[in-house]
Structure 1
Amino acid sequence: MTKPIHIGFLIYPGVTQLDATGPAQILSRVPGAVIHMIWKTCDPVPTDAGFSINPTDDFTNCPDLDVICVPGGIGQRPLMSDTDVLAFLKRQGEQARYVTSVCSGSLLLGAAGLLTGYRSACHWAFREALPMFGAEPVAERVVRDRNRLSGGGVTAGIDFGLTMAAELAGEDVAKEIQLFVEYNPSPPFGAGSPEGAGPELEARVRALFAQAG
């Protein structure tokens, strides 16, 4: 019998749903995986995409996790000083096998004191804030430093999920999952990074983030 692997995603009002649901879809295929969507209550949580996700667990009934993952989103900012959220992350992070994030979720791990002395990825627009929490920013899709794994912005969560799947179940299983979900990206535009987008487009997108914040 396969031993359960408890994988938990912190979801919260304003979360970027793909940060959570992308890697959750991948990791749900890992043998023994039990996916937990976690918030303070089990009421539906509105995402930044205009629809809600139903939590499976609250902070009280969530089991000890093998993998804790924090996604990003505009709703992450108010949580940076939320004592209940930070205490939950700290408690889970101190006992989990893997402490992970996608996008700006790494900043929330940092606020919980879980990234001091670690290298980390983050969304390109917020990467420069990582040193405030004692972390070293790295401009890569997926970054591993000991038992910390982090994905860059939003879509990098799928790359992170496959990397995490290989860590938990081996490369062959991860490749099977990649083929199962037909993850074979070929984007129609080369604007997926500031370097590819150019300074004018980057400035417009940074302005959008400023308006949202």
Structure 2
Amino acid sequence: MKIIIPLYPNVTHLDFTGPHQVLSRLPGATVTVASMGGADIEAEGLVFTRLADLSKIEACDMLCVPGGLGTTDAMLDDDFMAEIRRLGSGAKYLTSVCTGSLILAGAGFLRGKRAACHWAWRDLLEPFGAIVDESRVARDGDVITGGGVTAGLDFAFVMLAELAGETLAQSVQLGLEYAPSPPFNSGRPELAPPQVLAAVKARMAPLAAERRAAVEAMAARLEAVQ
């Protein structure tokens, strides 16, 4: 099992380090983190180095695309998206965490497919013809997608069970002591206090118009070539 995690500038590091931690426990699997040209990637103050060159990876069994503030810039990067399409077209599993599903959608993989995304951006899947799924982990055939950021851990355990069975998945869960018990019950918009939800939406608002424009431009570009 060859698993590829493609990175790009301004990716959210927990989107891929969480799944990497879990999936690296899969017996016989190789989990490779790559970037264009093998360039170092900065993610919210952390720099990831010694990465594989995405363009030199011949094929993969599973493509796992993380999200982040740089999602829309990555989506409009023709060279990066060409590699996503190339690797994704031969992968058995197309997967993502958070807004990574927008990249899969921009590559043309999610038309008519149910997919998850971070709650603040899930409506941006619609211009690509994807079906928004509010689940923490959504599955539609070979497409398995996680919701926002921390959902990447749940997604990874779902994948581990898919690839190696529930017994191994539960064993890894125990070994990592993954037993979530958050101090606040505000991790989803329907659970958060109104003032908290309003504050988070206000903080994200400046990015909304830019992301919407980028998504619509990419969706139009995709429509033109299909």
Could you state the TM-score of these two structures normalised by the residue count of structure 1?
Answer: 0.94
Kept in 2: contact 1:121–1:152 (CA 8 A): yes
Show structure 1 runs of 4+ deviating over 4 A: none
Aligned to 1:45: 41
1:93 aligns with 2:88: yes
| 8 Å CA contact retained: 1:39, 1:58 | yes
- Aligned residues: CA RMSD: 1.2
User: For the Cα contact (< 8 Å) 1:38–1:56, is it kept in 2?
Assistant: yes
Q: Does 1:105 align with 2:105?
A: no
Q: 1:27 & 1:197 partners in 2: Cα distance?
A: 30
Q: Among 181, 194, 197, which residue is 2:192 paired with?
A: 197
Kindly indicate whether the alpha-carbon contact (under 8 Å) linking 1:70 and 1:106 is maintained by their aligned counterparts in 2: yes
Partner of 2:131: 136
Of 1, 23, 34 in structure 2, the residue corresponding to residue 27 of structure 1 is: 23
Aligned residues: 208
Give, in angstroms, the shift of residue 211 of structure 1: 4.1
Alpha-carbon contact 2:6-2:54 (below 8 Å) kept: no
Uncovered stretches (5+) of structure 2, i.e. residues with no partner: 211-226
1:119 equivalenced with 2:114 (yes/no): yes
Residue aligned with 1:150, SS: strand
Residue 6 in structure 1 maps to residue 2 in structure 2: yes
Q: TM-score, normalised by structure 2?
A: 0.89
Displacement, 1:163? 0.3
32, 39, 43: which is aligned to 1:36? 32
Identity %, equivalent residues: 46
More helix by share: 2
Gaps of 5+ in 1: none
- 1:180 match: 175
Mapped partners of 1:66, 1:11: distance in 2: 17
C-alpha contact (below 8 Å) 1:37/1:55 kept by paired residues: no
Which deviations, in whole Å up to 9, do the C-alpha atoms of 1:127-153 show, x marking residues without a partner? 111111110011111001000000000
Distance 1:9 1:55 in 2: 14
Whole-Å Cα distance in 2 between the matches of residues 80 and 43 of structure 1? 18
Secondary structure (helix, strand or coil) at the match of 1:69 reads strand
- 2: CA distance, partners of 1:141 / 1:35: 23
Q: Which amino acid aligns with 1:191?
A: S
Establish whether residue 162 from structure 1 lines up as the match of residue 160 from structure 2: no
Look up the SS of the partner of 2:55 in the other structure.
coil
Amino acid in the other structure paired with 1:73: G
